[in-house]
Structure 1
Amino acid sequence: MCLVCNRPFSWRKKWEKVWDEVKYCSEKCKRNKKG
């Protein structure tokens, strides 16, 4: 689930090594994170 828009997203191969760090569905949401 994206922390910004709450949209669920699925595991992706490119995120395999950083899955624990993936908290946003997109770069846009990553930049718009609250706080």
Structure 2
Amino acid sequence: MSSRTRPAAQTASFKGNKQSLPSKPCVACGRPMSWRKRWARSWDEVKFCSDACRRSRSGAHTGAAG
């Protein structure tokens, strides 16, 4: 029994071939992002490929923390 969790659509078709995983573009830079196990629960909410893209996109409205 495996403790890994994947979306139901991925469980049947994923057999180690990363090309079969879903992907979508990063909102900030447009690079394609492939599905990751870490994003299994929040794949619909994932918008940025990295922290750098997240900071560059949302850095304009952050205030000084002190």
TM-score when normalising by structure 2: 0.48
Q: Secondary structure at the match of 1:20?
A: coil
Runs (4+) of structure 1 exceeding 6 A deviation are: none
Structure 1, unaligned runs of 5 or more = none
- Which structure has more helix as a fraction of its residues? 1
Q: Which structure: larger Rg?
A: 2
Structure 2, unaligned runs of 5 or more = 1-24, 61-66
**Alignment root-mean-square deviation, CA:** 1.4
Match of 2:36 among 3, 8, 12: 12
Q: Which has the higher contact order (CA 8 A, sep 6+)?
A: 1
Determine what percentage of the aligned residue pairs are the same residue: 51
Q: Distance in 1 between matches of 2:44 and 2:51?
A: 16
- Which structure has more strand as a fraction of its residues? 2
User: Are 1:23 and 2:47 counterparts?
Assistant: yes
TM-score when normalising by structure 1: 0.83
Please report how far the alpha carbon of residue 30 of structure 1 lies from its aligned counterpart in structure 2 after TM superposition.
0.8
Between Structure 1 and Structure 2, how many residues are aligned? 35
